[in-house]
Amino acid sequence: MFERLLVTIASLNDDGHSLYVYCVDNSHSITSSNNLMLQRIKDDGLEIDFYIFIHEDVVILNSNLLNDVIHYFSLGENLGAMGVAGVKFMPPDQIFWNGECYGDVYEDRGGGLGRVKFRDPVGEFEIVDMVDGLCIVSRLDMPWNERVDGFHMYDVSYCRDVKNSGYKTIIPKQDSPWFIHASGYREWNQQKFDDARMKYKDIYGI
């Protein structure tokens, strides 16, 4: 799957911008993986304007992604993070799809390609509480909270930390989906999700 992502990364219009690709494999959590990547970037002495945290099972459809990222973050210094699907206000149960969702993405969970289309932003973008972790773009050199371990609630946690740092998370207006999330069939473990949700609520005092 990662090789397929690399092909779509190579097809991006970079317009002279430098693009560095880091892969972290076999980690026990998303937050620790992303922090390891951030540390490798620092060790390499790179100066980064934007970080694109993307799952290995994502296909990039928007070849103009880099320019779109630059455009949207230019619309306000208080814009800290961006994604393509998420929720306006996080519901009390901390299950984002139970709230007022925005965004647009293709997905394939093993049964064929489908489109998950929520509300469209009224203007160029919608300010939201959180975005799904399939791809989160950030302008912030900010660590991920590793107390939120495993593979659930990491995206909720990061967006909350963005908000607590005085920045906003947005979903841009998409004429058509920018990504395919081709995760394939994975058996859903409700207990693991509920445990992660309760742990997140405990960490953030919700």
Task: Specify the pairing of strand 79-82 against strand 135-138.
Answer: antiparallel
Q: What is the CATH number of the domain that holds 36?
A: 3.90.550.10
**Each residue of 121-170: pLDDT tens digit?**
999 999 999 999 999 999 999 999 999 999 999 999 999 999 999 999 99
Q: How far apart are CA 179 and CA 108, in angstroms?
A: 11
Strand partners of residue 170: 82, 127
Matching residue, tokens 């992660």: 196
Q: Say if residue 26's pLDDT is above 70.
A: no
Question: What's the full length of the chain, in residues?
Answer: 206
Per-residue pLDDT at 42: 96
Domains in the chain: how many in total?
1
Six token digits for residue 196: 């992660």
Which residues constitute the domain of residue 116?
2-203
The reported pTM is 0.95
Q: How would residue 70 be classed by pLDDT, with cut points 50, 70 and 90? A: very high
CA-wise closest residue to 47 among 137, 139, 144: 139
